[in-house]
Structure 1
Amino acid sequence: MSNRSPDILFSNHVRDHPSWSVFEARFQDIYGSGPERMAVLARITDSLADALRTRSTALVELDRARSAAPDWTSVSGNVIYTFYVDRFSQDLAGLIERLDYLQSLGVRWLHPLPLLRSRPGDSDGGFAVADFRQIEPHLGSMDDLAALTTALHQRGMGLLLDVVCNHTAREHAWAVAARAGDLASRAFYRVESTETSVAAWGEHLIDVFPDTAPGSFTHEPEMGGWVWTTFYPFQWDLNYANPAVFIEMLDVLLFLANQGVDGFRLDSAPFLWKREGTSCRNQPEAYRIVEAWRAALSIVVPGVVLLAEAIESIDDVLPFFGQQSPGCDLAYNNGVMTALWGALADEDAGIARTLIEAASVRPAHAAWLNYVRCHDDLIWNALAAYAEPADLKRWSDFYAGGGFSGGRAFQTAPGGVPSTNGMAAALVGLGRDGVDQDLAARRLTLLYGIIHGLDGWPLIYMGDEVALGNDEAFDRDPARRDEGRWLHRPVMDWYKAEGRDDPDRIEGRTFAALRRFGKLSRSLDGLDIRGPARPVALTEKAVLAFERFEGSRRLLVLANLSPRGVVADLPPGWAGGGHDLVSGRDQSGPSIMLEPYDLLWLADRT
């Protein structure tokens, strides 16, 4: 053994690892087997061995610590904070200076939105990546990224980084080489040579941005045809039927993981595989690709987590957790998020109960990322499998200004209803004339109290902790006015944040509430409260109730979705009431009075 070279030792480690056979199986599911694949697998072995050889001692130790607790992703209270770096702290150096602020809020994970080098000009908010191995220059450098991950690890925090795995910018080196005639680079993309074939594919596709970027193909004379562009014309879809694309993206993940990145948000994961006669979303191969990445990463960087960015129905999201083998560790709980807004508008918990029940069947190793808002729109059409078209339209109209909300309608595909843009504070009515501001503030904290009580990782969108409102001036900026989602991508208001410790200001009350919810969430493991949230139907339709009961103690969350006080009859097994973790007071049963937009977390009395 001592006579073998280090490279051979690392290669042997890769091949001997239990996850290698899983990787081989998933790779063969996608690309088949045979002699021609042996060279491809040999190249992947070399990539994994090289990444293992160059991984720092500190990161290896972090991997070991996480691997020693295989269910660490199920620990309660992994609060995430998501933001655009330039709008929060200007750059990565400034972000390090803001870590005290985030840590005081109870944040455990930072989830910056795209910060890899993007194309000049319009880059779809950074999602048109021109180089996966460089940081956007105005944000910093790879050295700054390494400094950030080091600072985070010293505080027991982690970094989730966006990796846009479905497409590249038109300016990416692969696309530039493809336009110059390089056949190997051309094979990285999907190109159709005739309008007839474009029309045949398009018959089954659903436009993502039908107003600002209709269609899914863009004519490129230098390519001699039409390039597949699901999102915008400057974003070229990668061709994952070519195993070289799979390998390159795996190399990107390994490279970034060795910079200290702790997890990856796999952007647009449902779109990875194209199949004629389908919508080209959520195809079996897309799930296998994620499972193969997971297996490969488990060999080299087992402490790194994968987050599926799949804004689809829950039935289509669940397979991203893994079917034949483990896939993503996390996925956005988009269905529950959207349903909560619908339930709040109706003052009826029905749709939220339906989606919480659907989400409860997640695999035991998986965790939901629970959120109230994010940088994207509220997509009502994602609830089409669970609600009637009239419901979707009612909610869409309500949050476009028909109710207490200060949101705006966004584009939609033909046959659907408009999505909604707006910050959470605006959507609940804060800052809107004629809307009771105390009730609006209660709505905001109620939603955050609910998501912290659910199983999974709660996410805070930048500014929600100080009730930051819409950027109403975005449409006066020529660079942003054609993209309605900039309404809810404001610059962080640090003057408002200065009021976070003042209980007489909305900023102080909101910050304190979210910080308390994070602490309560982190306390659940110590109370042995575990398991998925399961809804409970009550006679009062305005009260959302769900239980978690797989530990030695149970939790019952009660949320009044209405602006009036209601009496909730407790469900069977809770007739005696319980101890409310939110207020710190005991509550007796069999009925409990809930104030407008009130929230209780009832735990079994010890």
Structure 2
Amino acid sequence: MQVDWYKDAVFYEVFVRAFADSDGDGIGDLAGLTSKLDYLRWLGVDAIWMLPIFPSPLRDDGYDVSDYYTIHPDYGTLADFRALMAAAHERDLKVLVELIPNHTSDQNAWFQASRDPQHPEHEKYRDWYVWSDTDQKYEESRIIFLDYEPSNWTYDEVRGAYFWHRFFHHQPDLNYDHPAVQREMLRIMQFWADLGVDGFRVDATPYLIEREGTSCENLPETHAYLKRMRKFLDAYAPGTLLLSEANQWPEDVRPYFGEGDEFQMNFHFPLMPRIFMALAQADRTPIEQILARTPELPEGCQWGSFLRCHDELTLEMVTPEEREFMWDFYAPEPRMRLNLGIRRRLAPLLENNRARIEVANSIFLTLIGSPVLYYGDEIGMGDNIWLDDRDGVRTPMQWEASENAGFSTAPAEQLAAPVIEDEIYGYRKINVAAQREDPDSLLNRMRELLRIRKKYPAFGRGELHLLEVHPHTGLAYLRATVAETLIIFNNLAPEPQTVSVDLADYAGKTPVDILTGETYPPITEELYVVELAGYGYCWLKI
């Protein structure tokens, strides 16, 4: 078994609730997802990452867990999950589930026992959460959900004390200073490993442990426990992937890889807004600057790259001036903004400009790490900024032009979220069925890009070397292994560009475009010149 399979993989993030409804109740479910596995295999993805599927009050789309050991009844049963796993593995698809170790729902039985001194299990669970007689502790910790929460502490009338929460007030943080909490999370991982999962996307990893006088993020004690998680999984289910959501600067994320003994993968959060910044400014500088801060990784480790996801496009790790620029450029309507970010999908962000969408995907698929594609972005789905919180980027998948976009047979008013119906992004115009039939569609282009990416291991395993290109509207880089060398050119500007670069080290080589088969002029000692269309790109093998 190849334990570093994730290095060559393309991941697909799916919100089960909005993907496919098998029983007509208006809610996507596991059986619905199972029915669409052939589509995902056809598209060319290798692994499916499901957003939370555990029982939950759904006040935060499942990130408020009330029971870690079964399936939310809206989504099916454990038998449905086993059927999904079997069908996925038959198609050589890996499956990741979401693990939320930092916090639970306030409806979780553990919290109910912890908060209530009269509860028969209060003694067992009393210290499973972070309680305090005062709300003045950990004052150096930032508030993450600025638009919703005035404090990281909430007073509980039943217990007569404050409980700690880094996110919503209905999501109390677990106390990882308690040995029983640490053991319980390992049991949960064991349970799902026994069901055959290939990996865990681990939510909110920087916040597990609190210490006075710190930001309560990235603490050594947190890393010690995360290493324990990895050691346990390596022994119990070798090859199981741990993918971390550490929304931090690259140098602060580096410790989450440990020495190859913590997480195998972490998302590269600050790269994503800088791709959009570079496109907005027609200047590669933001990408160069963040890659200059990006450390080398231990053997066996990999970055996870993405353009969009189920959350807002985070602008936490940009300057205030850059944040204002990005808001003004990409989110002129106040409803498009959320917390310190932008709640928009990829196609609307890029004004549904096909060339801009393609060059963004060219960068995404070739620059660094293993790509994570958000459901619906392969067809250019739109969003609904008038829905609450981040629901506007979590609308039903648009399968076809029939009622409810082929997502569900339920009456429209019963759907988990309304389908997109506007003139530009509405399901009658933007859907999988129509794009599969159109050889020039975005969907078929994305499928082709994924197919070609898969043929060249350098994209997942090769070294990355940025090239000094003139002018700054060009972004070019080498992806190289011992066996192959690829040169990628991207035009960040809407106008055609003539870009030049020093490739003298490869003089005598003749580049071939792996996307078109076109042979380019041989490389010489002179500056190498490439003509790029507006927002054009080419992938060359030398």
Q: 1:473: how far off?
A: 4.6
Aligned to 1:533: 464
Aligned to 2:514: 581
Contact 1:92 1:139 in 2 (8 A): yes
Q: Compute the RMSD of aligned alpha carbons.
A: 1.9
1:428 equivalenced with 2:366 (yes/no): no
Q: 1:551: how far off?
A: 2.1
1:444 equivalenced with 2:357 (yes/no): yes
Aligned with 1:511 (options 443, 453, 464): 443
Contact 2:486 2:540 in 1 (8 A): yes
Q: Any idea what the Cα deviations from partners look like across 1:539-596, whole Å, max 9, x if unmatched?
A: 2111111212232321111110110000110233356661111222122252000101
Amino acid at match of 1:581: I
Aligned with 1:205 (options 131, 141, 165): 141
Secondary structure of 1:277's aligned partner: coil
Name the CA distance, whole Å, in 1 between partners of 2:267 and 2:3. 21
Larger mean Cα displacement after TM superposition, 531-540 or 290-299:
531-540
> Structure 2 vs 1, CA of residues 492 and 234 (structure 1 numbering), >3 Å: closer, same or farther?
same
Aligned to 2:13: 82
Q: 1:501: how far off?
A: 2.0
Q: Any idea what the Cα deviations from partners look like across 1:407-461, whole Å, max 9, x if unmatched?
A: 811123xxxxxx111010110002xxxxxxxxx1111121112121134221111
**1:56-205 paired onto structure 2 within 5 Å:** 65=1, 69-74=2-7, 76=8, 78-89=9-20, 90-119=28-57, 122-181=58-117, 182-194=122-134, 198-201=135-138, 203-205=139-141
Contact 2:14 2:51 in 1 (8 A): yes
1:408 equivalenced with 2:327 (yes/no): no
Aligned to 2:314: 379
> Structure 2 vs 1, CA of residues 180 and 169 (structure 1 numbering), >3 Å: closer, same or farther?
same
Q: 1:529: how far off?
A: 8.3
Aligned to 2:428: none
1:394 equivalenced with 2:325 (yes/no): yes
Q: Any idea what the Cα deviations from partners look like across 1:228-258, whole Å, max 9, x if unmatched?
A: 0111111010111111111100100010111
Amino acid at match of 1:541: H
Q: Give ranges in structure 2 of 5+ residues lacking alignment.
A: 21-27, 401-430
Aligned to 1:336: 271
Q: 1:111: how far off?
A: 0.8
Amino acid at match of 2:346: A
Secondary structure of 1:374's aligned partner: coil
TM-score after normalising by structure 2: 0.87
Secondary structure of 1:381's aligned partner: coil
Secondary structure of 2:150's aligned partner: coil
Aligned with 2:453 (options 509, 514, 521): 521
Contact 2:254 2:295 in 1 (8 A): no
> Structure 2 vs 1, CA of residues 462 and 187 (structure 1 numbering), >3 Å: closer, same or farther?
same
1:286 equivalenced with 2:222 (yes/no): yes
Q: 1:139: how far off?
A: 0.4
Aligned with 1:591 (options 493, 507, 529): 529
Aligned to 2:406: none
Contact 2:452 2:514 in 1 (8 A): yes
Contact 1:407 1:426 in 2 (8 A): no
Secondary structure of 1:131's aligned partner: coil
Amino acid at match of 1:408: M
Contact 1:357 1:534 in 2 (8 A): no
1:453 equivalenced with 2:366 (yes/no): yes
> Structure 2 vs 1, CA of residues 534 and 389 (structure 1 numbering), >3 Å: closer, same or farther?
farther
Contact 1:528 1:553 in 2 (8 A): no
> Structure 2 vs 1, CA of residues 187 and 463 (structure 1 numbering), >3 Å: closer, same or farther?
same
Contact 1:529 1:551 in 2 (8 A): no
Contact 2:513 2:520 in 1 (8 A): yes
Name the CA distance, whole Å, in 2 between partners of 1:577 and 1:368. 31
Name the CA distance, whole Å, in 2 between partners of 1:393 and 1:528. 33
Q: Any idea what the Cα deviations from partners look like across 1:363-391, whole Å, max 9, x if unmatched?
A: 221111111100011111223xxxx4322
**1:462-473 paired onto structure 2 within 5 Å:** 462-473=375-386
Q: 1:342: how far off?
A: 0.9
Larger mean Cα displacement after TM superposition, 263-272 or 538-547:
538-547
Q: Any idea what the Cα deviations from partners look like across 1:3-60, whole Å, max 9, x if unmatched?
A: xxxxxxxxxxxxxxxxxxxxxxxxxxxxxxxxxxxxxxxxxxxxxxxxxxxxxxxxxx
Name the CA distance, whole Å, in 2 between partners of 1:537 and 1:285. 42
Amino acid at match of 1:158: K
Name the CA distance, whole Å, in 2 between partners of 1:104 and 1:596. 30
Q: Any idea what the Cα deviations from partners look like across 1:184-239, whole Å, max 9, x if unmatched?
A: 31211000112xxx2242x2111111121221011001222100011111101011
Name the CA distance, whole Å, in 2 between partners of 1:463 and 1:338. 20
Name the CA distance, whole Å, in 1 between partners of 2:107 and 2:459. 52
Secondary structure of 1:167's aligned partner: coil
Name the CA distance, whole Å, in 2 between partners of 1:532 and 1:409. 36
Name the CA distance, whole Å, in 1 between partners of 2:159 and 2:510. 68
Across the two proteins, how many residue pairs are aligned to each other? 494
Q: Any idea what the Cα deviations from partners look like across 1:270-299, whole Å, max 9, x if unmatched?
A: 111111111111111222211111111111
Name the CA distance, whole Å, in 2 between partners of 1:557 and 1:217. 49
Name the CA distance, whole Å, in 1 between partners of 2:345 and 2:335. 8
Aligned to 2:427: none
Name the CA distance, whole Å, in 2 between partners of 1:359 and 1:578. 29
> Structure 2 vs 1, CA of residues 537 and 389 (structure 1 numbering), >3 Å: closer, same or farther?
farther
Name the CA distance, whole Å, in 1 between partners of 2:376 and 2:262. 31
Amino acid at match of 2:454: R
Secondary structure of 1:327's aligned partner: coil
Contact 1:356 1:534 in 2 (8 A): no
> Structure 2 vs 1, CA of residues 360 and 559 (structure 1 numbering), >3 Å: closer, same or farther?
farther
Q: Which structure is higher in helix share?
A: 1
Name the CA distance, whole Å, in 2 between partners of 1:411 and 1:207. 10
Name the CA distance, whole Å, in 2 between partners of 1:539 and 1:489. 40
Secondary structure of 1:94's aligned partner: helix
> Structure 2 vs 1, CA of residues 407 and 367 (structure 1 numbering), >3 Å: closer, same or farther?
farther
> Structure 2 vs 1, CA of residues 239 and 566 (structure 1 numbering), >3 Å: closer, same or farther?
same
Secondary structure of 2:70's aligned partner: strand
Secondary structure of 1:96's aligned partner: helix
Name the CA distance, whole Å, in 1 between partners of 2:168 and 2:29. 26
Secondary structure of 2:321's aligned partner: helix
Contact 2:467 2:501 in 1 (8 A): no
Amino acid at match of 1:519: R
> Structure 2 vs 1, CA of residues 209 and 79 (structure 1 numbering), >3 Å: closer, same or farther?
same
Name the CA distance, whole Å, in 1 between partners of 2:43 and 2:460. 23
Amino acid at match of 1:591: V
**1:228-307 paired onto structure 2 within 5 Å:** 228-307=164-243
Q: Give ranges in structure 1 of 5+ residues lacking alignment.
A: 1-64, 413-418, 431-439, 475-480
Secondary structure of 1:280's aligned partner: coil
Name the CA distance, whole Å, in 2 between partners of 1:457 and 1:529. 6
Name the CA distance, whole Å, in 2 between partners of 1:448 and 1:155. 25
Name the CA distance, whole Å, in 2 between partners of 1:337 and 1:118. 30
> Structure 2 vs 1, CA of residues 169 and 292 (structure 1 numbering), >3 Å: closer, same or farther?
same
Larger mean Cα displacement after TM superposition, 221-230 or 161-170:
221-230
Aligned with 2:302 (options 356, 362, 367): 367
**1:314-325 paired onto structure 2 within 5 Å:** 314-323=250-259
Contact 2:475 2:489 in 1 (8 A): yes
> Structure 2 vs 1, CA of residues 509 and 546 (structure 1 numbering), >3 Å: closer, same or farther?
same
